[in-house]
Amino acid sequence: MTDLALSPPLSRPWGRLALRWLLFTLLGVFALFYLMPLFVMVTTSLKSLEEIRTGSLIAFPREVTFEAWKTAWSGACTGIQCEGLRPYFWNSVVLAIPAVLISTFVGAMNGYVIAQWRFRGANLIFSLLLFGCFIPFQVVLLPMARMLGILGLAGSIPGLIFVHVIYGIGFTTLFFRNYYVTIPSELVKAAKVDGAGFFRIFWSIFLPLSLPIVVVTVIWQFTQIWNDFLFGVSFSQAGTQPVTVALNNIVNSTTGVKEYNVDMAAAIIAALPTLIVYVVAGKYFIRGLTAGSVKG
Amino acid sequence: MSPILDISNLYKNYGSTEILKDINVSIEPGDFLVLVGPSGCGKSTLLNCIAGLEPITSGRIEIGGRDMTHVSPKDRDIAMVFQSYALYPTMSVAKNITFGMKVRGVDAATQEAKLNEVARQLQIEPLLNRRPGQLSGGQRQRVAMGRALVRDPKLFLFDEPLSNLDAKLRVEMRMEIKKLHHNLGATMVYVTHDQIEAMTLATKIVVMKGGVVQQIGSPSEIYNTPANLFVADFMGSPAMNLIPARARSNGNGTEIEIARDNDAPIVLRDVHARNLPEDVILGLRPEDIAQAGFRAGEDVQQAACMIDMVEPAGADTYVVSNLGGKQVTARLHAETAARPGEMLDLAFDLGKVSYFAPDSGERLN
Ligand SMILES: Nc1ncnc2c1ncn2[C@@H]1O[C@H](COP(=O)(O)OP(=O)(O)OP(=O)(O)O)[C@@H](O)[C@H]1O
Ligand SMILES: [Mg+2]
């Protein structure tokens, strides 16, 4: 506290206040910058085509209309069909939920085994799984297509689930393994002496400890899978496309006048689930990322 | 009766480091085996090996007459208290304690009864609904004890179960454990750093150093006839006086000469000692050196010594004198007239003496 003597007592709170204001202003500017596109999207989606053509891009709508939303949801054309995003949205839902749950569960199991039941070659397997995280999507496209063909899953939603689970396991294992290595190995020992076996210890002791990392993994996986375009466009066919592919089709296949309001509404609809997941569980996400060891 | 635990030629390596070397221990049903040794000597590792939580490198472990060397922990019929407690963080204290019974399919009524009994013994009744994270260190330690005590195993393994308790609670828990041992006739292996715990609880003490067993014996054997300098120095507080001396055979006995800095050497006659080498280390516990006139017996020999320090300790007073280049502690009665810097006649009880070889450290008599 050497500066106490140097600076007059009053200047301290003032300096601190100024600094705080500067900080908030800066943060505010950044937030505005990032919110700008969202603002444009929302306002545009609420305008009529007429108004878009005549008005300014960043103006509020003179007359709020949900027509564009309705069209985007159930009427917009994706190629020859004009059913809007709805069927594809549900495709994404039935695709993402099982894929997230399965990959999270498998990752938890893997992490538990690698971190707490060390066996010969555990490190090697972990390294290989990690390697899997860094393989670019494009590299696996062709082998995966062939594989799905062999398995009879080509072009189906189960096939897409399979692909996402396989691709996600590397990450989910990494998350859970890093979380579980911080848990003292004596817990497993004590439970073994108490008579519990492999699965009992997992269910009764490790899973209840895992809420923070489960949240992190679920958010991560959900975002990845919901937002995925490449796998979706590669491994789906007419009826099984996920929402991202449908969105692309809507935006690209309109002939004649470009319906910006419909495009914007469709984009927001497609992004909504990940947005909601972040808003609802974001708090746990941060907490989970920083959660450390467990004190007995 | 066949031993309940029989360890033969046990070796344990971590990688290329040998942690335990050729351990041979065997205990009878109802025995209370206490493991002592300096930190890092392998006590916890040995318990883990007995429990089957660490694979052993070679050797054999029998529990209850069965070869358990490769049997999994849950089938060894043991209960264990871990040095780090290892409580399940998401379970309440009650759930922690009953988890083992639940896993083993004990009915709810029995679980409840056992839980209440143990909670009363360990004075943790008000804590049953808390999580381990909401407990103090000593409370956690008692919960860890409770988890073992609700079981009725062939063998209890305790790894420093009382180390975190305050003095009063420690004495109470010691009594509880002693009672438990008496009433259940339970067989225990118990690690402690506390000398009093070791002496009061044990029927058998194993002293270890660097993964090697130094001595196995009853508390009085360990205390009165330590097998080597390490055991002599490690057990007992204050430690045994270990005084370099010269031995000379002389008629029917041996003269022991202890050099002094500014004085003539002390010469003691030990009529029992035979065949000692010339250089020896003489071991006498502080209580075997008394003020002259306060100790009688045919083996008691007196000598006047310069007192360097006087330390009253309540019931006794310890005095320190420099003999043979060592600070030698004697335990006198509380009202002694000893003053630092004055001469005092001390009585050495050679009936209790130990002799050690200075180089190997082994016991000679
Ligand atoms: N997993 C391990 N890998 C390598 N070395 C280990 C491992 N666990 C323990 N050791 C080593 O084994 C030796 C014995 O450890 P152990 O925990 O048995 O000591 P201890 O006698 O119980 O000590 P303390 O009284 O401090 O509890 C120590 O030197 C320790 O460093
Ligand atoms: Mg230990």
The model's pLDDT over B106-146, given as tens digits with 9 standing for 90+, comes to 999 999 999 999 999 889 999 999 999 899 888 998 999 99
Tokens 């070791």 belong to residue:
B198
Cα(B151)–Cα(B73) distance, integer angstroms: 14
User: Measured between CB atoms, does A7 come within 8 Å of chain B?
Assistant: no
pLDDT at A291: 53
Between the CA of A61 and the centroid of ligand 1 the distance, in Å, is: 72
Closest chain A C-alpha to B212 CA, distance in angstroms: 25
Pick out chain A residues at pLDDT < 50: 1-7, 292-296
User: Measured between CB atoms, does A190 come within 8 Å of chain B?
Assistant: yes
- Give the number of C-alpha atoms closer than 13 A to the C-alpha of residue B238, restricted to the C-beta side: 21
**ipTM of this complex > 0.90?**
no
Closest chain A C-alpha to B141 CA, distance in angstroms: 11
What residues form DSSP beta bridges with B62? B6, B67
User: Measured between CB atoms, does B9 come within 8 Å of chain A?
Assistant: no
pTM over 0.90: no
pLDDT at A63: 85
Residue B301 Cβ < 6 Å to ligand 1: no
The CATH superfamily assigned to B241-356 is Nucleic acid-binding proteins (2.40.50.140)
- Ligand in nearest proximity to the CA of A118: 1
Report the nearest atom of ligand 1 relative to the CA of B193.
Answer: 25
Residue count of chain B: 365
pLDDT at B183: 84
Residue B43 Cβ < 6 Å to ligand 1: yes
User: Measured between CB atoms, does B85 come within 8 Å of chain A?
Assistant: yes
Choose the residue to mutate in B35, B45, B57 for probing ligand 1, maximizing ligand atoms within 8 Å of C-beta. Answer: B45
Please, where in chain B does CATH 3.40.50.300 lie? 5-234
pLDDT digits (tens, 9 = 90+) for B147-187: 999 988 999 999 999 888 888 888 988 888 888 888 888 89
**A205–B100 CB contact, under 8 Å:** no
CB A46 within 8 A of CB A68: yes
Residue B92 Cβ < 6 Å to ligand 1: no
Mean predicted confidence (pLDDT) in B212-237:
95
Q: Which domains occur in chain A, in start order?
A: 2-65 (no CATH), 86-291 (1.10.3720.10)
Residue B41 Cβ < 6 Å to ligand 1: yes
User: Measured between CB atoms, does A294 come within 8 Å of chain B?
Assistant: yes
CA angle B134, B135, B139 (to 5 degrees): 165
**Three-class HEC string of chain A:** CCHHHHCCCCHHHHHHHHHHHHHHHHHHHHHHHHHHHHHHHHHHHCCCHHHHHHCCCCCCCCCCCCHHHHHHHHCCCECCECCCCHHHHHHHHHHHHHHHHHHHHHHHHHHHHHHHCCCCCHHHHHHHHHHHHCCCHHHHHHHHHHHHHHHCCCCCHHHHHHHHHHHHHHHHHHHHHHHHCCCCCHHHHHHHHCCCCHHHHHHHHHHHHCHHHHHHHHHHHHHHHHHCCHHHHHHCCHHHCCHHHHHHHHHHHCCCCCCHHHHHHHHHHHHHHHHHHHHHHHHHHHHHHHCCCCCC
The answer on pLDDT for B333 being more than 70 is yes
Residue B192 Cβ < 6 Å to ligand 1: no
CB B86 within 8 A of CB A184: yes
The answer on pLDDT for B42 being more than 70 is yes
Please, where in chain B does CATH 2.40.50.140 lie? 241-356
The answer on pLDDT for B249 being more than 90 is no
**CATH topology classification for B5-234:** Rossmann fold (3.40.50)
Provide the number of CB pairs (under 8 Å) joining chain A to chain B: 73
